[in-house]
Chain A
C-alpha cells in the first residue's frame, strides 16, 4: 500500500495543482477575455506565446526556469533582492513553473467559451446600462460557466501530470517538491515496483475519473 512518503507526495501534488489552478483562473481569465474580444494585431503573438507550452518539451521550460530563477538570472536576482531567496527547489518555484506549463489548458477553454458568447448578450447588457464590468460578471461569466469548468479540470489535471519540469527544478525535496510523478520515478529507479504500481495505478484511475467527469458533466463544452 502507500507509505507515508507516498501520501505526502499525493497531498503535495493536490496542493500544487490546487494553488496553480486557482492562480491560473485569476491570471488566465483576463488574458482569455482579451484574446476573445480583441481585434488587435497582438492577438496572434499573445495567443501563440500562451500556447507555447503545448508544443515545447518540458525540458526547455525547465532549463530556462532554472537559469532565470537561479542566482544569476533576472528573476533570481529579483527574488533575492525582495528577500524571498531563490525559487528553484521550493514549492513556490514549482507553482511558478506550473503556471506557465498549464497556462494554455486554462486560457484556451476560457477563450473558446468567451468567443462562443458572441457580441449580442453583451450589447444587450450595454443597452440596459450595465457597465462593462457588470456585463462581464453578470453576463459573460455565467454564460461561460462550462468553459470555467473545463479550464479548471484541465488546468488541475495537467499540473498533476507534470514531470519533466519538476525533475529539472524541483530537487526532489519531501513535502516541498517531491510530487507523485517524481515519487513514481524514484520507486521505479529503486526497483520498488510494488510501490510504483500503487501510485501509478492510482494515477490511471484518477486521470480516467477526471476525464470522465469532464466528458459527462460538460458534454457540449469545447475540449481543447
Chain B
C-alpha cells in the first residue's frame, strides 16, 4: 500500500513537472522559416542552455485558428502579418504585433536551370506541372497568384498548377520531381540542400503585394519571461544576420534588390 502511494505520488510529481518549469518555449512558425528559425533558435539556446525551445512549422492560417482555439503556442511567427493582427484584435496577444521581415518569392526547379528564367518562361509547354502554395490560405501562394496575374499568366497556366498545403510542401513537390518548377520562398531556396540542386530566380516584387511577416507573443505566454526574451532576441544582430542570410528583407531596410 505504501509503495503504491509513493508510486502514485511520484507519478503526480512527474506529471506536474512541466507545469512548474515555466521556462519552456513553444514557437509556432510559418513554414518558410523552417531553416532560418532553426539557426536562430540554436543561437538563442547558447545563451539559454537550460531552457527548452520547441518549434513547430506549418501554415500560418492553421496556426491562427489553433491559437484562437487555445493551442499551447507561446510565440507565433506568421508569414502574413494579417493573422497576428487579427489575433491581437481579439485580445489573444500579449505583445504588440511586430513586423520581423519581408519575404520574397522565387522560381525554383530541380530538373532545369531556373536561375535565368522569368515568369514568362512558365508558358513553355514542356513545363507540365507548376507548384505554388494554395493561394486561398497560404501567404506565399497569394503572392504567387498576384505575380502570375500581373504577368497575365494566371488564366493561361490554370490547368498546370498544383497547390501545396504550405510553402514547404510546395518545395517538396518540386524536390521530388513531381512538379517541374515551383514558386517558393527565397528562404527555402537558399537552404543548402535545395540550393545544391537546380537554381532559382527572384520574382520581381513589384508584381505582388509585399509579403509582410509579423509575430506576437500569445496571451498564454504573458507571464513567460523566456517568450519575452526570445521576442527581444529577434531584434539582435545575430538573429538579423540569419534572417538576411535566408533572403529576408528586414523591416526598415529598403525593399527590393
Residues of B close to A190: CB separation below 8 A: 61, 136-137
Residues of B close to A69: CB separation below 8 A: 178
Contact A171/B173 with A70-B178, A85-B128 known, Cβ cut-off 8 Å: yes
Residues of A close to B64: CB separation below 8 A: 191
Interface centre among B59, B163, B178 (most CB of A within 10 A): B178
Contact A188/B65 with A67-B176, A72-B177 known, Cβ cut-off 8 Å: yes
B164 to chain A, nearest CB (A): 8
* Cβ-based interface call for B129 (8 A): yes
State which size class the interface on A falls in: 20 to 34
B150 to chain A, nearest CB (A): 22
State which size class the interface on B falls in: 20 to 34
B56 to chain A, nearest CB (A): 16
* Cβ-based interface call for A115 (8 A): no
Binary flags per residue of A45-86, CB closer than 8 Å to B gives 1, else 0:
000000000000000000000110111100000000000011
Residues of B close to A188: CB separation below 8 A: 65
* Cβ-based interface call for B162 (8 A): yes
Residues of A close to B205: CB separation below 8 A: none
Residues of A close to B137: CB separation below 8 A: 186, 189-191
Shortest Cβ distance from B158 into A: residue = A174
Shortest Cβ distance from B177 into A: residue = A71
* Cβ-based interface call for A104 (8 A): no
Tell me the chain B residues, 179-236 only, with Cβ under 8 Å from chain A: 179
Shortest Cβ distance from B86 into A: residue = A191
B72 to chain A, nearest CB (A): 19
Shortest Cβ distance from A93 into B: residue = B178
Shortest Cβ distance from A176 into B: residue = B159
CA distance A44 to B179 in the complex (A): 39
CA distance A171 to B131 in the complex (A): 8
* Cβ-based interface call for B62 (8 A): yes
Interface centre among B64, B128, B131, B163 (most CB of A within 10 A): B163
CA distance A69 to B136 in the complex (A): 27
Top 10 A-B pairs, shortest CB-CB distance:
A171-B162, A172-B163, A189-B137, A71-B177, A190-B137, A88-B178, A189-B61, A89-B162, A70-B176, A70-B178
Can you list 8 contacts pairing A with B, beta carbon distance less than 8 Å?
Answer: A66-B178, A70-B178, A88-B178, A89-B129, A89-B178, A171-B162, A189-B61, A191-B64
Residues of B within 8 A of A (CB): 59, 61-62, 64-65, 111, 128-129, 131, 134, 136-137, 161-165, 173, 176-179
